[in-house]
């Protein structure tokens, strides 16, 4: 009887591993918001990591997190590192590409609680006296991430943070424009 149970458990394990291995290797989460402000104002908030504390959805999760800046103040080569509690973890962001009022591309390297490297892009599209901002996060799923995605919806989990961040970005920029 014990032998049959062990064989059944091994078979379940093989099926589970096979199912996880067949999950998508890449993910992409996209959110968009419209900000009632000129595109240069919105772009400036994203292109300079020094501005992120005011609107980043993760900055409020650990106000005591250690943060450091490196490289130029804004644009390509600008670096932001953080180390905080288990809600924000530890990592590094580097602006890899920046086109005024059009695109900010960032490499995001997570160190804790897990290692991962993703790409984040912000695009800006003028719409009359408003700006449509699109925030994209994309990356690769290793085996562990594929298994976690069976139990957690990455689009919903990360997307909710992105929606919150875009709402805060909208609030910060619109308040600054009204002054």
pLDDT in tens, 58-109: 888 888 889 999 999 999 999 999 998 888 899 999 999 999 999 999 999 9
For the chain, domain boundaries? 26-178
Other beta carbons within 10 angstroms of residue 52's beta carbon come to 19
Q: What CATH number belongs to 26-178? A: 3.30.530.20
Indicate whether 167 pLDDT > 80: yes
Residues 6-57 have pLDDT tens digits of 777 777 776 666 666 667 677 778 999 999 999 999 999 999 999 999 999 8
């Amino acid at each position: 009887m014990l032998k049959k149970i062990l064989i059944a458990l091994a078979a379940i394990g093989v099926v589970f591993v096979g199912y996880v291995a067949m999950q998508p290797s890449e993910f992409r989460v996209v959110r968009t918001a419209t900000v009632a402000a000129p595109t240069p104002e919105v772009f400036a908030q994203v292109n300079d990591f020094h501005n992120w504390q005011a609107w980043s959805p993760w900055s409020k999760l650990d106000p005591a997190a250690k943060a450091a800046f490196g490289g130029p103040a804004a644009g390509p080569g600008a670096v932001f590192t953080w180390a905080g509690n288990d809600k924000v973890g530890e990592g590094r962001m580097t602006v890899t590409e920046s086109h005024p009022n059009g695109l900010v591309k960032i490499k995001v390297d997570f160190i804790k609680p897990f290692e991962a490297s993703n790409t984040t892009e912000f695009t800006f599209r003028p719409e009359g006296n408003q700006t449509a901002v699109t925030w994209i996060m994309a990356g690769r799923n290793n085996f562990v991430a594929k298994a976690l995605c069976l139990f957690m919806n990455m689009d919903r989990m990360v997307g909710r943070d992105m929606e919150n961040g875009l709402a805060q970005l909208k609030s910060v920029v619109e308040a600054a424009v009204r002054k």
